Each structure stands twice: as C-alpha cells, then as structure tokens.
Amino acid sequence: MGDRASPQPTMSDATVRATTHPVTTFLIRHVASHLDPRLFRATNGRLTTFGAPVMPMVTLSTRGARTGKRRLIHLACLEHEGDRLVVASAMGQKRHPGWSYNLEAHPEIEVQAPGERYRARAERLTDGEKAEVWPAVHAAIPQMAVYETRTERNIRMYRLRRVE
C-alpha cells in the first residue's frame, strides 16, 4: 500500500480553520448533512450545499443497522489503489458516527461519486492498514488533524471496494 495514494488537492490553513470552526461544524452536522446527499446524487456529484466540491466526495446509500431503512451519508473520500477510502471521524465527536455501525451491519452499499454510481462493499481497515494511508488522509483531508484533537477514540476507516 505505502505511497500509492493518488495526489489530492490541498486546502489553505484559513479554509481548514473555517471548516472546523464550531459554528461551521454545527451547520454541516445539522443542515448540510441532510441536504448534501440528495443534492450530490441529483447533480451526479457536481454540487453540494457549499457549491462545487473542493475535495473528492461520495454519497453512500446504506441500510440502517437496527431499522434496515435506507440511509444516505455524504462524505469526503480518498482515492487509493482503485478504491475509495472514507474516514468515520464524525468531525471529532466522542462516538463513532451512526453510518459506521450501518456499514458494519450491512456492508453492501451504493456509492455516488462525481459522474458515476456503483455498488460496493465496505471493509473496515485494520489499524496497520490505516497507519499506512493515514499520512495521505491528512494530506487529502487536512481537517482530520483538528478532528483527532477532539476525540480519544480510534477513528475508523473503510475501504469501498467495487462489486459487480
């Protein structure tokens, strides 16, 4: 695995500070998280509530761990060795995000990426696998450094592997 993660766009420090500010975090968690999955899917990955995505993004269609109901979640991702990786940071909340429990219970999902929609299987990375790609995560999603300071939990990471 090592250094084979594809290069990602970089963000300015001001953008990272703005997107991790408590007010912005609140808006993302309580407003954008409800609108973005539908808007991103409707525009085939071209738009979010904040405009055109500035980093690689996906919307996952999962099934609820307890209810079995369809759930949509919009996430930043990292392209790596032909797969996409997503991080269950929950912006540094104390608990793992609900969608990570959904992936654990029902790993067969649908992925909407810019210009394509496909079926995939989510696989949680081991701590060793995560350690190999963590520097690439920090480069692609610089907010992660802030999220890590907000929580003591081991942040989960998932590989989204295409299935036919």
Residue at 5 is within a domain: no
Domain of residue 29, residue span = 13-162
Tokens in use for 111? 């992925």
- State the total domains in the chain: 1
What is the structure's pLDDT at 25? 60
pLDDT digits (tens, 9 = 90+) for 25-46: 666 666 666 667 677 777 877 7
pLDDT in tens, 70-129: 999 989 899 999 999 999 987 678 888 999 999 999 999 999 999 999 999 999 999 999
Q: Is residue 1 situated within a structural domain?
A: no
Query: 17 in a domain, yes or no?
Result: yes
CATH of the domain at 42: 2.30.110.10
Q: Is residue 138 part of a domain?
A: yes
In a domain, 6, yes or no: no
Q: Answer yes or no: is 157 within a domain.
A: yes
